Amino acid sequence: LNPHVEAAARLVRVDSVNAGALLAGHDAILDGTDNFATRLAVADAALRLRIPLIAAAVGEFEGQLGVFRGWEADKPCYRCFTGADPERPGINCAEQGVLGALTGVMGSLAALETIRAIVPFGEDSAGKLLIADTLALRFRTLALPKDPGCLACAA
Ligand SMILES: [Zn+2]
C-alpha cells in the first residue's frame, strides 16, 4: 500500500552460503522461519551486515519476539539467546503443531517491530524478549543479556 516500500519476492531457500548476499542492503530483516538452520544462517548474516534482526517464533502455546543488534556493545545477538546448537529432536512446528491465530498475532507484532526498527519510536526492544503465553493469555517481557562468551558477537 505504501508507494515508498519496495518488495521483491525470491523463491530461494536461505542458507549459510547465500544469506549474506540475499540480505545485504536491506533496512531490517524479519525472520519467521520454522527451523534453526535457517534462523541461524539469517541471524549470522544480520549480525555480519549490521542489519537489525526481528525474530518471531511460535511454539505449541507460546510466541516469542526479539529484536537483535548484536554488533552493539550492550545488545545481544540471536546466538546469545539460543546458544550455539539450539536444535532439539522432536521440538519443531511440524511435529508439535502451532496455533494459527498465534502465528497471526506474532506476525503482526514482528511487522510492528520492523517498522520500529526502520523508524524508531517508543522504547527500544533490543535486549528484551516478548513472550506471548496463550495458556494464561498474557504477555510478559524478559531481559535478554549479551553473552560475554558468545562465539558470534563477543569481541
Ligand atoms: Zn551473541
Give the right CATH number for 19-143 from 3.30.70.60, 3.40.120.10, 3.40.50.720, 3.30.1330.40: 3.40.50.720
What integer is the mean pLDDT of 87-100? 75
Non-local (6+) Cβ contacts of 68 within 8 A are 43, 46, 47, 52, 53, 54, 55, 75, 76, 77, 78, 81, 126
Give the distance (Å) from ligand 1 centre to CA of residue 100: 30
Distance CA 29, CA 13 (A): 15
Give the distance (Å) from ligand 1 centre to CA of residue 115: 23
- Tell which wins on pLDDT, 97 or 30: 30
CA distances from 129 to 77, 105, 115 (A): 12, 15, 17
Distance CA 56, CA 28 (A): 13
Distance CA 96, CA 94 (A): 6
User: What's residue 96's pLDDT?
Assistant: 78
User: What's residue 134's pLDDT?
Assistant: 96
Residue 7 has pLDDT above 90, yes or no: no
User: What's residue 63's pLDDT?
Assistant: 97
Phi, psi of 74 (to 5 degrees): -110, 10
User: What's residue 1's pLDDT?
Assistant: 84
Distance CA 19, CA 41 (A): 6
Fill in the amino acid letter for 148.
Answer: P
| Confidence band of 91 (pLDDT split at 50, 70, 90) | low
- Which residues have CB less than 5 Å away from ligand 1 (the ion)? 70, 77, 79-80, 150, 152-153
Give the distance (Å) from ligand 1 centre to CA of residue 64: 18
Residue 79 has pLDDT above 70, yes or no: yes
What integer is the mean pLDDT of 15-33? 96
What integer is the mean pLDDT of 110-121? 96
Give the distance (Å) from ligand 1 centre to CA of residue 148: 8
